[in-house]
A and B are shown apart, each in its own frame.
Chain A
């Protein structure tokens, strides 16, 4: 019997799992897909928001501000990067009023913000558009890799005794008053005292299983361009336009891994699965970016992607169910959900701990920071290669990822079993060739490490096998 089962391996679920573990709970996270961070937590802006944008006294404001501090604090323990590079909301002369409103809101939320003029803006970011006169500067704005953050939280939970079971889509939950039985698609079942719904865009499906309220949910897609690392020299902070009713607008920002992103859009879609980029979306970005940023360069685009966020009313839903005892609901965790996640996890775990009468919070063992060939000194490399020559066998030439890193990614606490899962951890295939050169090598390493045939290696997700058969296995129609 588990103390708690968390349904959904996004950043919020992973954070809740890790916090639950710190209270000594027997905790399990069930994820439908073959890796954590495959939904909204994979495809967003990766921004650590300072917290000036949310309405004062809202859950968004509360968790954003606390989450901001926690993101930077946790990064070290989790062995990942969080960079406090500051953020600018920029405007022309006409936008000053809007900035002042934001500044006021920020101060009410307890965020360090100030309005600065062009001269000072240029000291922070030289490439703002020529007609930008004012900006709201938040020094605590920053960047983080949303999927690495999620994976690191889940890994950390696992090394501290939590469990993550992948490819376990929840299809039914029995509520026997004081005990839930959670059934998964692959025929397994798990018993628990408490259920946490962190299924993101699928939150209503879980609510329906327990006869709980179905939320009126809006899905919005955000499209993005990803640019080559060559573009990183042109942008040093997070650059937002003035927000409007649809959201924070199209931003330009570096990523922690050295790329640059332009995006997102905010386009209404039917479902959480509608993650296909559209030409229309990309045109919106092209038209918007130039308003704040002087030197967009689409020649250096290496990838486009889109993510869908779910919106329930104007605020997050973070509460014990009104209808079902011991059922905790997290829904509508859209922006600033990534920043808020560690604070939400902290809050949820505390709520559950109180209910279970668990008071002691233990110190968690930190993650080992994974070593990367690309950021190692020659001396360090010379030492490591003596122990294991695979440190100097480069598989991904664009991002300089060694075979050793790929093997370590595959065998990490939450195992990477697909090419995409390896890519999210080790960055093999993240570069300009899009994995064209290294994907077959990565496939071979996965097949070897997991002892499966090459035809069983997936890109990511059900039926996503890359090599589908041997040559000439079927008939030849010539």
Chain B
């Protein structure tokens, strides 16, 4: 049986959740509302995050980037390591695609700040 403990982030209550699965059914304990149950289930089955990071510029410096959608939490490390090897040329503008469809997630890594020439 799989089991996970986490804190619900849906409101300042911060309920301590215990999520368990016997293979089929998922049970959430410790939540005090329905939002907490849904949160617990999602965190257990397919936690997702937006990743923000920095890409090096070709002639020194960095520009900030993010994934323009949620990616599986388990892929954060691989995405960061992909970003690590990329070098970008100025100028960069907000929304410029830095890596298209990063690691086949269907999500792009885009610039979030401006670096003029």
Determine direct contact between A and B, CB below 8 Å: yes
Selected contact of A476 from candidates B56, B62, B80, CB within 8 Å? B80
**Given the complex, which residues of B lie within 8 Å of A478, measured CB to CB?**
76-77, 80
A451 nearest CB across to chain B (Å) = 14
Alpha-carbon separation in the docked complex, A471 to B53 (Å): 10
Closest to B81 in A: A476
B81 nearest CB across to chain A (Å) = 6
Inter-subunit contact B77/A476 (CB<8 Å): yes
Q: A472 on the interface (CB 8 Å rule)?
A: yes
B1 nearest CB across to chain A (Å) = 27
B interface secondary structure, majority: helix
* Binary B-proximity of A441-478 (CB < 8 A = 1, otherwise 0): 00000000000000000000000000000111000111
* Binary A-proximity of B51-64 (CB < 8 A = 1, otherwise 0): 00010100000100
Inter-subunit contact A472/B83 (CB<8 Å): yes
Q: B89 on the interface (CB 8 Å rule)?
A: no
Closest to A471 in B: B54
Inter-subunit contact A470/B77 (CB<8 Å): no
**Given the complex, which residues of B lie within 8 Å of A476, measured CB to CB?**
77, 80-81, 84
B109 nearest CB across to chain A (Å) = 14
Interface-central residue, A471, A472, A478, by most chain B CB under 10 Å: A472
**Given the complex, which residues of A lie within 8 Å of B56, measured CB to CB?**
470-472
B24 nearest CB across to chain A (Å) = 31
B33 nearest CB across to chain A (Å) = 31
- The number of residues on chain A lying at the interface, defined by a beta carbon within 8 Å of a beta carbon of chain B, is 6
Inter-subunit contact B76/A472 (CB<8 Å): no
Alpha-carbon separation in the docked complex, A476 to B54 (Å): 13
Q: Which of B58-76 contact A (CB under 8 A)?
A: 62, 76
Alpha-carbon separation in the docked complex, A478 to B72 (Å): 13
Alpha-carbon separation in the docked complex, A476 to B84 (Å): 9
Q: Which of B27-63 contact A (CB under 8 A)?
A: 54, 56, 62
Alpha-carbon separation in the docked complex, A477 to B76 (Å): 10
Closest to A453 in B: B60
Q: Which of B88-113 contact A (CB under 8 A)?
A: none
Alpha-carbon separation in the docked complex, A131 to B94 (Å): 66
Alpha-carbon separation in the docked complex, A364 to B30 (Å): 80
Alpha-carbon separation in the docked complex, A476 to B81 (Å): 7
Alpha-carbon separation in the docked complex, A470 to B87 (Å): 13
Alpha-carbon separation in the docked complex, A477 to B81 (Å): 9
**Given the complex, which residues of A lie within 8 Å of B81, measured CB to CB?**
476
Closest to B76 in A: A478
**Given the complex, which residues of A lie within 8 Å of B76, measured CB to CB?**
478
Alpha-carbon separation in the docked complex, A478 to B81 (Å): 9
Q: Which of A275-331 contact B (CB under 8 A)?
A: none
**Given the complex, which residues of A lie within 8 Å of B83, measured CB to CB?**
472
Alpha-carbon separation in the docked complex, A478 to B71 (Å): 15
Inter-subunit contact A472/B84 (CB<8 Å): yes
Alpha-carbon separation in the docked complex, A476 to B62 (Å): 17
Inter-subunit contact B62/A471 (CB<8 Å): yes
**Given the complex, which residues of B lie within 8 Å of A472, measured CB to CB?**
54, 56, 80, 83-84
Alpha-carbon separation in the docked complex, A442 to B80 (Å): 30
B92 nearest CB across to chain A (Å) = 16
Alpha-carbon separation in the docked complex, A471 to B56 (Å): 8
Alpha-carbon separation in the docked complex, A476 to B79 (Å): 10
A155 nearest CB across to chain B (Å) = 34
Alpha-carbon separation in the docked complex, A212 to B83 (Å): 62
Closest to A477 in B: B77
B52 nearest CB across to chain A (Å) = 12
B110 nearest CB across to chain A (Å) = 18
A76 nearest CB across to chain B (Å) = 46
Alpha-carbon separation in the docked complex, A218 to B21 (Å): 68
Alpha-carbon separation in the docked complex, A470 to B62 (Å): 9
Alpha-carbon separation in the docked complex, A91 to B97 (Å): 73
Alpha-carbon separation in the docked complex, A71 to B3 (Å): 74
**Given the complex, which residues of B lie within 8 Å of A471, measured CB to CB?**
54, 56, 62
Alpha-carbon separation in the docked complex, A477 to B56 (Å): 19
The chain A residues found within 8 Å of chain B, CB to CB, are 470-472, 476-478
CB<8 Å pairs between A and B, sample of 17 = A470-B56, A471-B54, A471-B56, A471-B62, A472-B54, A472-B56, A472-B80, A472-B83, A472-B84, A476-B77, A476-B80, A476-B81, A476-B84, A477-B77, A478-B76, A478-B77, A478-B80
- 5 nearest interchain CB pairs? A478-B77, A472-B84, A476-B80, A471-B54, A478-B76
Q: A471-B56, A471-B62 are in contact. List 4 more A-B contacts (CB 8 A).
A: A471-B54, A472-B56, A472-B80, A476-B80
